[in-house]
Chains A and B, each alone.
Chain A
Amino acid sequence: DGGITQSPKYLFRKEGQNVTLSCEQNLNHDAMYWYRQDPGQGLRLIYYSQIVNDFQKGDIAEGYSVSREKKESFPLTVTSAQKNPTAFYLCASSIAADGHEKLFFGSGTQLSVL
């Protein structure tokens, strides 16, 4: 369904812990994105990657890190520096990162703090 897979579906983080969210796509898309969704806040961009081995900060990158070692994969690490990590995280991909292409979303990961 959509060719983009996120795991796990639910994740719990202890204080001071780093956690990593997985995102894999088999659509052969160059661009990948991470969005954070909070109730009533829409979708806010954390990081995006236009091509392998390259990524840029979005609007709310503080406390997060990413890597893009393979075209298919764009994992997101929520670090202990992110003081309010509880949210629904959506990964997306598009053919190119020109802002005019259809985004294909994963099914999301709900992160909660213990």
Chain B
Amino acid sequence: QQQVKQSPQSLIVQKGGISIINCAYENTAFDYFPWYQQFPGKGPALLIAIRPDVSEKKEGRFTISFNKSAKQFSLHIMDSQPGDSATYFCAAASGETSGSRLTFGEGTQLTVNP
């Protein structure tokens, strides 16, 4: 059972456009929702994260929107750049003793064309 579902699987955007990636989760105990960025041959790196007590968090060109009632969250990349081309993973975590035990979505391959 996939606890975090991510879409789309792949996304092609023109330079300067907005990239939007969506995730939905099942487990209402999740209370930490990070997004990770992964370049080929590298490990995932934290991009931005949100907790369910806020509906939106913005860091530079990256914004997370969170809808607790719908159990959905999304990543918006404004003014997308070719350097943003990477695989993006949403994730979720819960549990006081689980640390950063992350349940990942399936990933979205983003390509930003120049």
A and B bound?
no
Interface of B with A (CB < 8 Å)? none
A interface list, Cβ under 8 A from B = none
